Structure 1
Amino acid sequence: MNARITTHSSLTGLRDELRLLAHRAGLPVETRYRLALSASHVAADELAAGRPVLLETVPPQPPRPAAGPDAGGGAGGGESEGEGDALTVRLHLPYAPEGPSLEGLPLPAEQTPGPAAVWRLPAPAGPPPREAGRPQPAELLEEELSTAVERMDALAEDHRQLKHELSETNSGVLALYVQLEERDEQLRQAHGRMLRQLEDALRPPPVAVDGLEMAVHYEPAEKDAPTGGDLYDWFVLPDGTVHITLVDALGHGLTSTRAALNVTHAVRTLALEGHPLDSLVARTDEVLATFDHELMATVQVVRIDPRTGELAMANGSHPPALLVRGGDGAGSLLEARGRGIGFPLPGSEKLLYDRLGPGDLLVLYTDGLTESRRDPREGEQRLVRAARRHRALPIAELPAAIAEEMHTVVLHPDDTVALTVRRSRP
């Protein structure tokens, strides 16, 4: 077939012509409407300005026979079909001042010299469909719309299937996430149980002795690491006196726990060997300095005679103890001067003596109880008020109640030990 050129002054006529040519050439319906939309986009400005456009089409040529080995038609000769030519559509804009923009067309076009666009469309496999008559433009448009609807339905189904698969994948991921969370929670619980067992091993239960009620509350700075540098020790000396040691080693975690254990063990050993109370802090520093040069800790050592209530205290840089009288509830801080383990000139400068009367309450603690705010002195005054308010509670509840009231405002959390001793009433 020869090339065919038609002149068009409207978009409707251009589209109808392209649809009919593409239909006769047997092009797929989707290619047909993409071609019509692309040509309309290229010609729209020209036609809107009243300038006609030219449509040149070259229909696909029939396949050319391929010569066999005997090109002259000998006995062994044969023929096979070659590839058919492409349908070529050229849209000329003879009056356009410049070439058209071909960006973003539904069917990509070739840019040619001059104001024109070219589409080269592969010839379909097999012969073009036979038509009973010339189809009407409305019929072709309806066919294209039907194909577009089917395409949209297929895409919608693909989208639905993809959402379903994605939902199943998300469900699987969520189930896996839940399993991981459950496993993580199990590990956390196991870790917590192990650390609590370690904590119980490090912190001895209260001493059972007639004449004294004793209880302790420990609160770590980090809930997931219930060990730190705040430790205590209490036991009964051979003469019946109750010995209490309170230690706050520098730092947090297991390193500070080891340091605090070294101090409590050294003090216990020296006390059981009979070293006097006023030399315990300095002697402990001498013992530990030989193998731990970086150890620093505050320490408080208290001796109480449960029969008479006589109290003696040695101190090394530790916060003062609190004594609340059982009668009128008057509170006073018992502050013995001295320097702690690892400090310059370690040791207690002198012993502090007092006496616990029936119902009197002694509160020993580490600085995490009172230094939750910026001013330690303000914390000590709050401690006096809290201890007076809760002094009548059962001894097992008393230290935790004091700590809870003291920690209503915490600016910088720290390990906390609150240890209470109350002399029993007759």
Structure 2
Amino acid sequence: MTEPTYGQSPLSTLSEVRRAVRRLAGLHGLSAGTRARLTASVAAVARVGLENGQSVRITARRGPREEPAGVDTLVLALTTSLPIGPETLAKLPLAAVATDGGVEWRIAPPSPREQPGRAASDEAAEEELAALLTDLDALAADHQQLKAELDETNSGVLALYVQLEERDEQLRRAHGQMLRELEDALRPAPLSVPGLELAVHYAPADTDAPTGGDLYDWFVLPDGSVHITVVDALGHGVGSTRAALDVTHTVRTLALDGYPMKAIVGRASEVLNGMDPQLMATMLLARINPATGELLLANGSHPPALVVRTGGPTEYLEVPGRGVGYPLPGSDQVLRSHLRPGDLLMLYTDGLTESRRDPLEGEQRLAASATRNAGRPIHEIPGAIADDMHTVVHHPDDTLALTLRRLGSASGR
């Protein structure tokens, strides 16, 4: 065991304590991370005595560790006349043990690769920076000294940290822009059909991943009617987007090939099961004749369509059926209805009505919101309804809201 490497002079301020610990850490070649933990720990224990008007003493010595035998360790001792409770020791960044005269820290010697005054890792340097910054507000008199030490020991780490933050922000912006462009590419182009006006609102559950399993498709059939598909594939993110695309492409192919509405859901499930047996998705198919207002609906486990009639009455158009990946998939029937001029049809996914985990309550709020907003320009309606429905969100999910309004004349908007 060697003689103490620092004297027995009493220390009466936290600034003196910190400087003494840092000096000892430098003399013994401790890494920046260990130095930060040791400085914070000693200061926390010393504060108890200093705040009660008692001075403290700090000594250091080399001594053998218990395991492995024969290996020296640095023993730093803080001598104080006040007892230190176990609750204080339990909160220290660096473990310590209570002694009859104060507290001791037993620290393993640095590895040969570590050099005095240098941080052992970025993480250790960042921890030292956090410890020093925490003390700045309470120790204004010591501000310049601490800033000098930070500049000396952490300037490189701070510069790297700022660069990494800037690069991370650039990557986030680029990632978001790329995904938004991908989303735009996946969504069908706006549809302009005399006698009808359409609009859509989509919001992902996670703004950092603006693609998901909610998708729609609309196109004009050879007979002039407009076909709309709304899909909600199980899951979130790009994987569910691929599944939803498979569904919309399959339905489009079947519809353009002339499959009857009632058969499309079941046939699409057969085709998709051969491609991906794990795929599960709900879907709602709507077909509207702009000239006559005739509306056909087929459903596969999807929330029902909502109609807001001219003058205010609302009606949910329920169609029983089971979706892709469900037992006995298919639409049990095709519901026939009629849209009069001015009627508003709304198709959506369950993220719109189940944000509070109560679908029935959600459907009631949706009907009330659709009635309030039905008189708006069509491009404003889906977003306004989504804002109404998501004032409180207990269960975030991808959300799709699509609105279609039949105009008074099929000759134009």
TM-score bracket for this pair, using the shorter chain length: 0.5 to 0.7
Hey, what does 1:251 align to over in structure 2?
Answer: 235
Q: Aligned pair in 2 of structure 1 residues 231, 162: CA closer, same or farther (>3 Å)?
A: closer
Q: For the Cα contact (< 8 Å) 1:299–1:316, is it kept in 2?
A: yes
Hey, what does 2:377 align to over in structure 1?
Answer: 394
Decide which of 329, 333, 345 is 1:350's aligned counterpart. Answer: 333
Report which of the two structures shows the higher radius of gyration computed on alpha carbons: 1
- Are residue 218 (structure 1) and residue 202 (structure 2) matched? yes
Decide which of 251, 254, 264 is 2:248's aligned counterpart. Answer: 264
Q: For the Cα contact (< 8 Å) 1:206–1:216, is it kept in 2?
A: no
CA separation in 1, counterparts of 2:285 and 2:320? 12
Q: CA deviation at 1:207?
A: 1.0
Letter in 2 for 1:371: E
Q: CA deviation at 1:288?
A: 1.2
Q: CA deviation at 1:318?
A: 0.3
Q: Aligned pair in 2 of structure 1 residues 263, 160: CA closer, same or farther (>3 Å)?
A: closer
CA separation in 2, counterparts of 1:423 and 1:169? 70
Equivalent position SS for 2:302: coil
Equivalent position SS for 1:183: helix
- Listed as ranges, the matches of 1:37-116 within 5 Å are none
Q: Deviations over 1:178-223 (max 9, x none)?
A: 3322221111110011101110111113311000010000000000
Hey, what does 2:303 align to over in structure 1?
Answer: 319
Letter in 2 for 1:399: P
Hey, what does 2:190 align to over in structure 1?
Answer: 206
- Listed as ranges, the matches of 1:22-421 within 5 Å are 163-167=147-151, 173-326=157-310, 328-421=311-404
Q: For the Cα contact (< 8 Å) 1:317–1:339, is it kept in 2?
A: yes
Q: CA deviation at 1:160?
A: 6.4
Q: CA deviation at 1:355?
A: 0.9
Q: Aligned pair in 2 of structure 1 residues 393, 175: CA closer, same or farther (>3 Å)?
A: farther
Q: Aligned pair in 2 of structure 1 residues 418, 105: CA closer, same or farther (>3 Å)?
A: closer
CA separation in 2, counterparts of 1:345 and 1:413? 30
Q: CA deviation at 1:365?
A: 0.1
CA separation in 2, counterparts of 1:338 and 1:224? 34
Q: CA deviation at 1:236?
A: 0.2
Equivalent position SS for 1:209: coil
Letter in 2 for 1:413: P
Range with greater deviation from structure 2 (192-201 or 163-172): 163-172
Q: Aligned pair in 2 of structure 1 residues 162, 260: CA closer, same or farther (>3 Å)?
A: closer
Q: For the Cα contact (< 8 Å) 1:323–1:363, is it kept in 2?
A: yes
Q: Aligned pair in 2 of structure 1 residues 159, 420: CA closer, same or farther (>3 Å)?
A: closer
CA separation in 2, counterparts of 1:410 and 1:335? 26
TM-score (norm 2): 0.63
CA separation in 2, counterparts of 1:159 and 1:347? 73
Letter in 2 for 1:402: I
Letter in 2 for 1:299: M
CA separation in 1, counterparts of 2:309 and 2:335? 17
CA separation in 1, counterparts of 2:58 and 2:205? 67
Q: Deviations over 1:142-176 (max 9, x none)?
A: xxxxxxxxxxxxxxxx9966742424655654444
Hey, what does 1:119 align to over in structure 2?
Answer: none
Q: CA deviation at 1:425?
A: 2.5
Hey, what does 2:139 align to over in structure 1?
Answer: none
CA separation in 1, counterparts of 2:344 and 2:228? 15
Q: CA deviation at 1:177?
A: 2.9
The number of aligned residues is 276
CA separation in 2, counterparts of 1:299 and 1:387? 21
Equivalent position SS for 2:269: helix
Q: Aligned pair in 2 of structure 1 residues 392, 174: CA closer, same or farther (>3 Å)?
A: farther
Structure 1 unmatched ranges of 5 or more: 1-33, 38-103, 109-157
Structure 2 unmatched ranges of 5 or more: 1-6, 10-56, 62-141
Q: Aligned pair in 2 of structure 1 residues 385, 173: CA closer, same or farther (>3 Å)?
A: same
Range with greater deviation from structure 2 (172-181 or 381-390): 172-181
Q: CA deviation at 1:374?
A: 2.1
- Compute the RMSD of aligned alpha carbons: 2.5
CA separation in 1, counterparts of 2:143 and 2:218? 72
CA separation in 1, counterparts of 2:372 and 2:190? 23
Equivalent position SS for 2:239: helix
Q: Aligned pair in 2 of structure 1 residues 165, 291: CA closer, same or farther (>3 Å)?
A: same
CA separation in 2, counterparts of 1:313 and 1:306? 15
CA separation in 2, counterparts of 1:201 and 1:400? 20
